C-alpha cells in the first residue's frame, strides 16, 4: 500500500534524470525525497503525480496501478514550489475548486472549505485574492486546496523553497503537526537536509538519478551507506583517512591511546560553538564553548585528536586532485 | 505527439507598486521629440482625418445621410458586418488554439508555425488574396474540390472570410502568447491534479487568465477585419451589391463612380468604428495594468 514505484526511468534528451528507481513509501508516513538540485527527485514526484510520463517502470498508488492514469484520475494532492495559486479566484474559491468541479452540494463545500481554512489559519482571508497574501499564506492555501479533495497521497515539490528562512522554519513545524492530525500519505521534495531530518518519518536520498539510501532520519545520519549520504546529511571532516562528523572528534591536551597529534591552526567561535581547525590533519573539530574553555584551547596549541568511540566513520573517498 | 513543456517557474511578482509618474517633458531633447511627434501626427493623421471630416459634412447632413441610406451602401455595411463578425469568431477560437499550442507545447515545426502565423503581417494583403485565388479559384488546386462539395470560395463570402481571418489572426495570437508564456502551466497542472478535465481547465483556468489579453486582441482584430481592403478586393471579385464590403465600396465610389461625397460618408463611419475599437482596446489595456 502507500506508493510503490518499480523500475522507473526517465530521460530528457541525453540527460538521464532517473535510472531504474525502486521505492516504496508507507501509507500514512511523511517521506522526504532529499538530494541536490538536478538529482531527479522532483521528476520522480511529478511522475508519481502523473505530470510527467516515465520512459520505463510502473507507479502504484494504494495498491492500484496508476502508471497510465491521467493526473486527474490519480486522486493525488500536489503542492508546487511557486504555489500555482489560481490568481483570478479568491482564497475560498481556490480551496473549493476541487469540490466545485466534483459538483458537491454547496452546503457541503462551504463546511469543508471553512474547516480547511481554519486548519491552515486563513479563515479571515477567505475573500482575498492570492496576490494579496504573503508567500507563506499562499502556500498554506495551496495545501488546503490540495487537501480539500481528500487525496490518497499528498505530494509537495520543494514546498518551502521560495520562502524566507524564518517562514520556512515555521511552516516546516506546522507541516509536521498538520501531518500528525491528518495522517495522509505524504511525500515531499527538498534539498535541505535539516528540513528532511526534522520533519520526515523516512528519508530517501536521491542523487544523479539514483537512490543512494533509504531510512529513518537517525539511521541515515548515524549509518550512512556511502560518503555522499554522509556528507549530504550533515557536516563532515576527514581524520586519518576517514570521514568523521566534526562534533564526533575528541580533543585531548595530552597523548591518549590511539589519538593522533595535531596543531590548532585556527579557533573560531560561532555563538555557543567553537570550531578548531587542525592544520596538519586537514580536518576540523566542533566543540562546545564549555569544552573549549575546559581544554584551555588556543591557536597554536598542540593537541591529540581521535573520533569518539562508537561514532559514525567511513573510509574517505580519494580526493580528486 | 507533442511533449508538454517543463513549466517555467518564476518568482511571484511583487504586488503592484504605484506606477512612477512620467517625467515632465521640459529638457531640450524631449522638446525636439515632442515636436517631431506632433508634426508626424499632425501631417499624417490629424490633417487627413480633418479633411475627410470637412468634406463629409461640407455638402450638408442631407447628403451625408442620403449617401449612407443608399441600397449599395447598406449592403456594403451588411457585408462588412457579416465578414468581420464571422472572421472575429474564427479568430477567437483559432487564436486561442494556436496561441496555446505555440506557448505551451514544444513540437517539431513549432518555429515554422510561429513564422507562418506572422506571415500576413509582413506580406501584402493583395498577395494573400492572390494566393487564395490560386488555391481556391475555379482553376485552383482545391477550387473544384470545394465547389463539388457546394462551397464557393472565390467571389463569395467564404473566401472573403478566410482572407480576412488570414490577415487578422496574428493580432489575436500575438496578444495571447506572452500572457500564456508568463502564466506558465502550473495552474493548469494544479487543476488537473484536483480532478479537472481538459475542458474544465480551459474554461475555468486558462480562459480567465487570458481574458483581458484575448479581449484586447479580438478588438484589434475586429478593427482590422472591418478595414481590410487588399485581400478582400482580390478574393471577392468586387461585385457591387453582392460581395462589396464597405472599404471596397469606398474604393469603387472614388475610382469608378467618382461619387466623392458618398465615399466620404462611408469613410467617416469606418473611421468612427475604428476609433471606437482603439479607444476600447486602450481602455482594456489600462484596466489590465491596474
Q: Which residues contact residue B69 at a Cβ distance below 8 angstroms, ignoring those fewer than 6 apart? A: none
pLDDT above 60: residue B82: yes
Region of residue B283 (left: phi > 0; alpha: psi -120 to 50; beta: else): alpha
Percent of chain A exceeding pLDDT 70 equals 98
The model's confidence at residue B2, banded by pLDDT at 50, 70 and 90, is very low
Which CATH number goes with the domain that contains A116? 3.40.50.300
Give the Cα separation of A189 and A265 in Å (integer): 39
Q: What is the DSSP string of B96-118?
A: HHHHHHHHHEE-TTHHHHHHHHH
pLDDT at residue B3, as a whole number: 42
pLDDT at residue B96, as a whole number: 95
Task: Tell me whether residues B190 and A80 touch, CB distance under 8 A.
Answer: yes
B132: closest CA among B221, B224, B236, B249?
A: B236
The model's confidence at residue B1, banded by pLDDT at 50, 70 and 90, is very low
Instruction: Record the cell numbers describing residue B111, joined without a space.
Output: 518555429
Q: Are residues A245 and A219 in the same domain?
A: no
The number of residues in chain A equals 321
* Digit-coded pLDDT (tens) for B197-254: 999 999 999 999 998 899 989 998 999 999 888 899 998 888 888 888 999 999 998 8
Task: Tell me whether residues B191 and A49 touch, CB distance under 8 A.
Answer: no
pLDDT at residue A241, as a whole number: 82
Give the Cα separation of B93 and B207 in Å (integer): 11
Give the Cα separation of B284 and B290 in Å (integer): 10
Interface check B15 vs A, CB under 8 A: yes
Residue A137 belongs to domain spanning: 3-228
pLDDT at residue B52, as a whole number: 87
pLDDT at residue B105, as a whole number: 86
- Burial of A321 by CB count in 10 Å (0-12 exposed, 13-18 middle, 19+ buried)? exposed
pLDDT above 80: residue B104: yes
pLDDT above 90: residue A5: yes
Q: Is residue A299 part of a domain?
A: yes
ipTM of the complex: 0.86
Q: Are residues A90 and A74 in the same domain?
A: yes
Interface check A229 vs B, CB under 8 A: no
Residues A186 and A154: beta-carbon distance below 8 Å: yes
pLDDT at residue B12, as a whole number: 41
Q: What is the DSSP string of A13-78?
A: TTEEEEEEEEEEE-TT-EEEEE--TTSSHHHHHHHHHTSS--SEEEEEETTEE-TT--GGGS-EEE
Closest Cβ–Cβ partner in B10, B193, B205 for A82: B10
> Mean per-residue pLDDT for B15-29?
60
pLDDT at residue B23, as a whole number: 61
Task: Tell me whether residues B194 and A83 touch, CB distance under 8 A.
Answer: no
Helices A165-182, A135-148: crossing angle, 10 deg rounding = 20
The number of residues in chain B equals 290
Instruction: Give, in order, the Cα–Cα distances in Å from B174 to each of A37, A266, B220, B232.
Output: 35, 62, 11, 22
A residues 82-111 closer than 8 Å to B (CB): 82-88, 97-98, 101-102
Give the Cα separation of B125 and B162 in Å (integer): 12
A56: closest CA among A209, A166, A217, A282?
A: A209
The model's confidence at residue B24, banded by pLDDT at 50, 70 and 90, is low
Measured on CA atoms in the order A243, A248, A252, A256, is the torsion positive or negative?
negative
Task: Tell me whether residues A51 and B189 touch, CB distance under 8 A.
Answer: yes
Interface check A161 vs B, CB under 8 A: no
Q: Are residues A217 and A293 in the same domain?
A: no
Q: Is residue A321 part of a domain?
A: no
Interface check B9 vs A, CB under 8 A: yes
The model's confidence at residue A319, banded by pLDDT at 50, 70 and 90, is low
Instruction: Provide the 3-class DSSP secondary structure of residue B138.
Output: coil
The model's confidence at residue B25, banded by pLDDT at 50, 70 and 90, is low
> Mean per-residue pLDDT for B168-174?
93
Instruction: Record the cell numbers describing residue A301, joined without a space.
Output: 596549541
Interface test with B, best of A10, A12, A71 (most B CBs within 10 A): A71
pLDDT at residue B9, as a whole number: 40
Percent of chain B exceeding pLDDT 90 equals 36
pLDDT at residue A174, as a whole number: 86
Q: Are residues A208 and A262 in the same domain?
A: no
Measured on CA atoms in the order B133, B134, B140, B144, is the torsion positive or negative?
negative
Neighbour count for residue A93 (Cβ, 10 Å): 17
Q: Are residues A198 and A241 in the same domain?
A: no
Q: Is residue A202 part of a domain?
A: yes
Chain B hits for A88, Cβ within 8 Å = 208-209
Task: Tell me whether residues A80 and B10 touch, CB distance under 8 A.
Answer: no
Q: For every residue of A152-189, which 3-state class applies, written as one string?
A: CEEEEECCCCCCCHHHHHHHHHHHHHHHHHHCCEEEEE
Last residue of a domain, one of A228, A259, A287: A228
> What is the number of alpha carbons within 13 Å of residue A180 lying toward its C-beta?
7
Interface check A132 vs B, CB under 8 A: yes
- Burial of A265 by CB count in 10 Å (0-12 exposed, 13-18 middle, 19+ buried)? middle
Among chain B residues, CA nearest to A162? B11
Q: Is residue A320 part of a domain?
A: no
Chain B hits for A82, Cβ within 8 Å = 9-12, 186
Chain A hits for B200, Cβ within 8 Å = 101
Q: Are residues A220 and A282 in the same domain?
A: no
pLDDT at residue A66, as a whole number: 93
* Digit-coded pLDDT (tens) for A32-73: 999 998 889 999 999 999 999 999 999 999 889 999 999 999
Last residue of a domain, one of A177, A206, A228: A228
pLDDT above 80: residue B21: no
Which residues on neighbouring strands pair with residue A205, listed in sequence order? A34, A213
Which residues on neighbouring strands pair with residue A6, listed in sequence order? A58
Last residue of a domain, one of A228, A257, A280: A228
> Mean per-residue pLDDT for A97-102?
94
Interface check B196 vs A, CB under 8 A: yes
Q: Are residues A185 and A148 in the same domain?
A: yes
Give the Cα separation of B268 and A159 in Å (integer): 59
Domain map of chain B by residue range? 27-58, 60-289
pLDDT above 50: residue B258: yes
Q: Are residues A105 and A161 in the same domain?
A: yes
Do the bridges between strand A185-190 and strand A3-12 make them parallel or antiparallel, or are there none, so unpaired?
Answer: unpaired
pLDDT above 60: residue A320: no
pLDDT at residue B5, as a whole number: 42
Which CATH number goes with the domain that contains A265? 2.40.50.100
Residues A81 and A157: beta-carbon distance below 8 Å: yes
- Rounded to the nearest angstrom, the minimum Cα separation between B176 and chain A is 17
Residues A184 and A153: beta-carbon distance below 8 Å: yes
Residues A49 and A74: beta-carbon distance below 8 Å: yes
Closest Cβ–Cβ partner in A73, A74, A78 for B190: A78
Average pLDDT, chain B: 85
- Rounded to the nearest angstrom, the minimum Cα separation between B8 and chain A is 10
The model's confidence at residue B69, banded by pLDDT at 50, 70 and 90, is confident
Q: Are residues A162 and A303 in the same domain?
A: no
pLDDT above 50: residue A191: yes
pLDDT at residue B191, as a whole number: 95
Instruction: Give, in order, the Cα–Cα distances in Å from B180 to each of A83, A231, B95, B167, B199.
Output: 17, 42, 12, 22, 17
Give the Cα separation of A3 and A143 in Å (integer): 20
Give the Cα separation of A111 and A127 in Å (integer): 16
For residue A267, give the H/E element and its range: strand A260-270
Q: Are residues A216 and A285 in the same domain?
A: no
pLDDT at residue B20, as a whole number: 53
Q: Are residues A252 and A280 in the same domain?
A: yes
Instruction: Record the cell numbers describing residue A65, joined without a space.
Output: 496501478
Q: Are residues A194 and A88 in the same domain?
A: yes
Number of domains, chain A: 2
Q: Is residue A288 part of a domain?
A: yes
DSSP state of B194: T
pLDDT above 60: residue B14: no
pLDDT at residue A11, as a whole number: 93
pLDDT at residue A206, as a whole number: 95
Chain A hits for B189, Cβ within 8 Å = 51, 71, 78, 80, 84
CATH 3.40.50.2030 fits B60-289, yes or no: no
Task: Tell me whether residues A98 and B194 touch, CB distance under 8 A.
Answer: yes
pLDDT above 80: residue B11: no
Amino acid at each position: 500500500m502507500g506508493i510503490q514505484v518499480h523500475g522507473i526511468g526517465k530521460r530528457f534528451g541525453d540527460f538521464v534524470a532517473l535510472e531504474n528507481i525502486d521505492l516504496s513509501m508507507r501509507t500514512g508516513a511523511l517521506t522526504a525525497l532529499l538530494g541536490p538540485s538536478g538529482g531527479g527527485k522532483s521528476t520522480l514526484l511529478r511522475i508519481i503525480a502523473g505530470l510527467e510520463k516515465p520512459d520505463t517502470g510502473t507507479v502504484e498508488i494504494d495498491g492500484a496501478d496508476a502508471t497510465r492514469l491521467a493526473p486527474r484520475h490519480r486522486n493525488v494532492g500536489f503542492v508546487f514550489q511557486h504555489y500555482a495559486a489560481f490568481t483570478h479566484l479568491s482564497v475560498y474559491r481556490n480551496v473549493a475548486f476541487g469540490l466545485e468541479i466534483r459538483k458537491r452540494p454547496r452546503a457541503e463545500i462551504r463546511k469543508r472549505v471553512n474547516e480547511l481554512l481554519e486548519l491552515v489559519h486563513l479563515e479571515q482571508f477567505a475573500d482575498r485574492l492570492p496576490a494579496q497574501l504573503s508567500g507563506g499564506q499562499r502556500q498554506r492555501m495551496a495545501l488546503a486546496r490540495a487537501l480539500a479533495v481528500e487525496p490518497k497521497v499528498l505530494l509537495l515539490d520543494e514546498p518551502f523553497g521560495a520562502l524566507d528562512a524564518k517562514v520556512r522554519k515555521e511552516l516546516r513545524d506546522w507541516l509536521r503537526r498538520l501531518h500528525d492530525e491528518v495522517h495522509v500519505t505524504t511525500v515531499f521534495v527538498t534539498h535541505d537536509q535539516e528540513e528532511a531530518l526534522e520533519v520526515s518519518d523516512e528519508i530517501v536520498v536521491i542523487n544523479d538519478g539514483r537512490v543512494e539510501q533509504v531510512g529513518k532520519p537517525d539511521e541515515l545520519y548515524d549509518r550512512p551507506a556511502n560518503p555522499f549520504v554522509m556528507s549530504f546529511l550533515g557536516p563532515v571532516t576527514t581524520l586519518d583517512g576517514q570521514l568523521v562528523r566534526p562534533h564526533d572528534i575528541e580533543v585531548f591536551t595530552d597523548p591518549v591511546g590511539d589519538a593522533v597529534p595535531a596543531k590548532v591552526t585556527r579557533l573560531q567561535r560561532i555563538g555557543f560553538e567553537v570550531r578548531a581547525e587542525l592544520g596538519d590533519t586537514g580536518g576540523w573539530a566542533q566543540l562546545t564553548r564549555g569544552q573549549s574553555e575546559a581544554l584551555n584551547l588556543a591557536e597554536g596549541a598542540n593537541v591529540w585528536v581521535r573520533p569518539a568511540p562508537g561514532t559514525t566513520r567511513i573510509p574517505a573517498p580519494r580526493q580528486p586532485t | 505527439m507533442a511533449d508538454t513543456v517543463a513549466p517555467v517557474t518564476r518568482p511571484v511578482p511583487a504586488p503592484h507598486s504605484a506606477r512612477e509618474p512620467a517625467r515632465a517633458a521640459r529638457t531640450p531633447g524631449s522638446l525636439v521629440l515632442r515636436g517631431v511627434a506632433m508634426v508626424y501626427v499632425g501631417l499624417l493623421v490629424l490633417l487627413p482625418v480633418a479633411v475627410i471630416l470637412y468634406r463629409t459634412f461640407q455638402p450638408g447632413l442631407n447628403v451625408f445621410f442620403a449617401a449612407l441610406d443608399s441600397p449599395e451602401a447598406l449592403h456594403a455595411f451588411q457585408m462588412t458586418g457579416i465578414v468581420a463578425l464571422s472572421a472575429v469568431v474564427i479568430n477567437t477560437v483559432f487564436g486561442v488554439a494556436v496561441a496555446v499550442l505555440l506557448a505551451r507545447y514544444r513540437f517539431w515545426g513549432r518555429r515554422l508555425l510561429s513564422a507562418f502565423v506572422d506571415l500576413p503581417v509582413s506580406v501584402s494583403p493583395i498577395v494573400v488574396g492572390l494566393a487564395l485565388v490560386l488555391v481556391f479559384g475555379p482553376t485552383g488546386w482545391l477550387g473544384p474540390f470545394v465547389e463539388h462539395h457546394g462551397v464557393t470560395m472565390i467571389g463569395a463570402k467564404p473566401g472573403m472570410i478566410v482572407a480576412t481571418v488570414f490577415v487578422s489572426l496574428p493580432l489575436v495570437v500575438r496578444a495571447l502568447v506572452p500572457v500564456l508564456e508568463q502564466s506558465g502551466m502550473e495552474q493548469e497542472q494544479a487543476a488537473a491534479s484536483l480532478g479537472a478535465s481538459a475542458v474544465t481547465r480551459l474554461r475555468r483556468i486558462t480562459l480567465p487568465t487570458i481574458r483581458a489579453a484575448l479581449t484586447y486582441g479580438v478588438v484589434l482584430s475586429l478593427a482590422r477585419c472591418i478595414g481590410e481592403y487588399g485581400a478582400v478586393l482580390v478574393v471577392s471579385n468586387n461585385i457591387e451589391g453582392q460581395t462589396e464590403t464597405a472599404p471596397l465600396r469606398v474604393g469603387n465610389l472614388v475610382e469608378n463612380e467618382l461619387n466623392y461625397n458618398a465615399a466620404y460618408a462611408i469613410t467617416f463611419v469606418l473611421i468612427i468604428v475604428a476609433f471606437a475599437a482603439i479607444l476600447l482596446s486602450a481602455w482594456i489595456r489600462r484596466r489590465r495594468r491596474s
